[in-house]
Structure 1
């Protein structure tokens, strides 16, 4: 077990367990360095032709005012499915969310755990009929048409004063390949995502979800499986959203006022 994992299990375990008891799920995540992508993909039996294509858009100001207060606005076009959108808040303490928000069937509270850290987020989701997202990002309909009334209220409660959905810029798209695997010698479903950025960079992420109370057990099982495949567990972790927002923010700021 490496130093980062020891730190998580010793210093942060109490905090993680406190969040998890009020969460809906846990997602264990690992991002891999680009140098190990081909080796890891081969070891897991990843076939890119079996992946689902997704197109992901973020919405924020050029200087990322939403992101600065922990709010993410996102919409996706998904191959073979409808569109969807989410307003995400992180970090959160689940017990501190308003009762009506916490009780919403559209709200999910999840603890993401990765080597060296964790974060709890609350996501207000909304399903859409295609091609609503495409219509919004090309300017045929206003951006607020992508988000439900409930999502807009959730955003208003946490965004900087006076900032609304229609004030935001489109950041994206990012193309994503998503593949669900059930590898031999592993009892759970493993999700592989490859995020392809316009500058040629990519983030390769492995993840699996479990119920609150299963995190430590599943974490040990995942570690054992990945180590058996020779997949590195100690690389610096990248967050897909942060990488995307920083890329498109720099692009918007460089292009000047719209």
Structure 2
């Protein structure tokens, strides 16, 4: 454990961020030895959004603007099967899509998939919880997502052959990518900054849902070997600026699915009409 995360003292300091029972903490540390990277995430309480923007000067630079969509069956079967399907349109940059499996056991990921340069196996850790995922990504053209959402091209055009094969194993019966419902859009802005006393970049993602509600997530990435040191430093930075790590945490995916399940009429809740010709 020490070899993977640092000294016992560092692990204790990291625990102020992770806030996991001892058994879960040791299980997570063991898991990090098998992945490509660790991503530390913290969802800022709604009441502290303004404070976070001010103390970190988050809005001091122009953000990267994105429009995010999730795809699932109308009854959210993919999510229940541990599959996340997301596409993003980024202003001034290529669009992208991801098919993510979580939770996964790294040793159980198919060797052919594990060897793909487009696959990342990582542990996402936030205060009180963690999950291991395998994310298969592909880069798209700069207007591919907009074309698909405007129904000028089929949804399956947003995914590589490898992604489509992976997704097909989880779709129900004769289901097809083009039959999936679209949940979105969510307007997102991404800011990158380096707080004083922290030796790596933090990313702030502010997601705005169709009803105007917002989610603010701070995150940073680390190698498995540096995860504990990074978590300890991140905890110090957050607490120094008065951000409470003990409140409820909810991933962006979970927040999105909850939003559209509760209010399916909000925004663009899905595609209707005949499937595009393939």
Normalising TM by the smaller chain, what interval? over 0.9
Contact 1:54 1:78 in 2 (8 A): yes
Match of 1:148 in 2: 160
CA distance in 1, matches of 2:252, 2:52: 18
Shift of 1:221: 0.8
Contact 2:191 2:205 in 1 (8 A): yes
Match of 1:239 in 2: 251
- Per the alignment, in what secondary structure is the counterpart of residue 172 of structure 1? strand
Contact 1:8 1:117 in 2 (8 A): yes
1:185 aligns with 2:197: yes
Aligned pair partner of 2:38 in 18, 26, 44: 26
Distance 1:233 1:257, change over 3 A: closer
Match of 2:238 in 1: 226
Shift of 1:13: 2.0
CA distance in 1, matches of 2:18, 2:225: 19
Distance 1:48 1:162, change over 3 A: farther
Aligned pair partner of 1:199 in 202, 211, 235: 211
Residue segments in structure 2 that go unaligned for 5+ positions in a row: 1-12, 273-278
Q: CA RMSD in A?
A: 2.2
Aligned pair partner of 1:71 in 76, 83, 92: 83
For 1:53-202, list aligned pairs within 5 A.
53-202=65-214
- Per the alignment, in what secondary structure is the counterpart of residue 20 of structure 2? helix
1:217 aligns with 2:214: no
Contact 1:86 1:125 in 2 (8 A): yes
Residue segments in structure 1 that go unaligned for 5+ positions in a row: none
Distance 1:56 1:151, change over 3 A: same
